Each structure stands twice: as structure tokens, then as C-alpha cells.
Amino acid sequence: MTRRSETVVAIILCSLLASACGGGEKQHTDTTAIGAPPSSTPAATPGAAPAIVGKTWDVKMLGDATGYRFDPPMLTIKAGDGVRWTVVSGPPHNVTFWPDSIPPRAEATLRASMTQTIAPLTGPLLINPSLTYTVGFVGAPPGTYHYYCTPHLAVGMKGVIVVQ
């Protein structure tokens, strides 16, 4: 199977998964421009994920003729910061953390911060450009957090967050 046909199969499977899992949920959108400097995030509403107390950093989710990737692929943040992923091209995309590739005791922190998950440590499928997904690292233990895009893992769409 060629790389292109693997991608097409992955997209079809993810689309079917999204519709089977009640893909009618409203996705969160954000009007902050891609490439804008880190910003402060307002306090969360009751019952929501813990409020981000530091900066929110932007990561683009891209899929085009040069490949599928996160930009930047590696990001260093502080505990209390957040990361906002935005679909730019090549959807669907999502963010999934490997449970065995995050610091000990980090899973509970991520679960508390990740909303609309479709599986453990797996964010929702974002199927349109400009959709965003934000994860806070409030109370996150320092260390390296490896993540990937589920539909595009086979074509190497992976990223790393280092929490200081």
C-alpha cells in the first residue's frame, strides 16, 4: 500500500469513527491567529478543565505535499502553561499522548485537562481548518511528553512537549 493510499484509508476510518462516536458535538474554535505570540488564558468555567495559569503556546497541525507534522514539533513550556493545537491543513487531526512516554504520575493531570476525549489521553478529531484543541499542563510533573496525531501516526506525525 502506498503512503497516499494509507493516508486515504486513515482519513476514511477516522471519519467513520467520528460519526460513530457522535461527531455532532460542537468543537471549540479560537480566533487567535496562528503564529501569534503566547497569550494568557482566561479562567475556566466551573466543571471545566483546570484553568491555565501561564502562557498558552500555539502548535500548527499541518498536512500537505511536504508531509504531516506538528509545527513546532518540539516545544518547551513551564508547568501551568497550555498548548493550543490548530488545524491548518490536511485534517482530520487530533492529539494523543502515549501513556508509556510521559512522566510518572502525569496521566491524571492530562486526563483532568483533556476535554472531549474519544479514548484515554486522546483528544477529539478536528475535521475542519481553524479548529483548535487546548491542553493545560497545570500541576504537570516536569519531563518529556510524547504525543502524536492518531490518523497520521503511520506517516510520522509526532510531537514532543518538555515541561520544565
CA gyration radius for the chain?
15
Q: Is 93 a catalytic residue?
A: yes
pLDDT digits (tens, 9 = 90+) for 22-70: 443 333 334 333 333 343 333 334 446 788 999 999 999 999 999 999 9
Backbone phi, psi, residue 32, to 5°: -65, 135
Q: Is 152 a catalytic residue?
A: yes
Domain enclosing residue 117, as ranges:
3-163
Taking the whole predicted model, whether its pTM rises above 0.95 is answered as no
Distance (Å) of CA 83 to CA 11, 23, 60, 136: 24, 23, 10, 6
pLDDT for res 19: 40
* C-beta of residue 84 within 8 angstroms of C-beta of residue 58: yes
pLDDT at 128 > cutoff 60: yes
Specify the DSSP class assigned to residue 23: T
Q: Is 146 a catalytic residue?
A: no
pLDDT digits (tens, 9 = 90+) for 63-101: 999 999 999 999 999 999 999 999 999 999 999 999 999
Q: Is 157 a catalytic residue?
A: yes
Taking alpha carbons only, the member of 72, 57, 47 closest to residue 137 is 57
| Between residues 36 and 154, the one the model is more confident about | 154
The CATH number of residue 139's host domain is 2.60.40.420
pLDDT at 140 > cutoff 80: yes
The residues facing 145 across adjacent strands are 161
Q: How far is it, in rounded angstroms, from Cα 48 to Cα 36?
A: 25
What domain count does the chain have? 1
Per DSSP (E only), the strands in 72-129 are 74-77, 82-87, 96-97
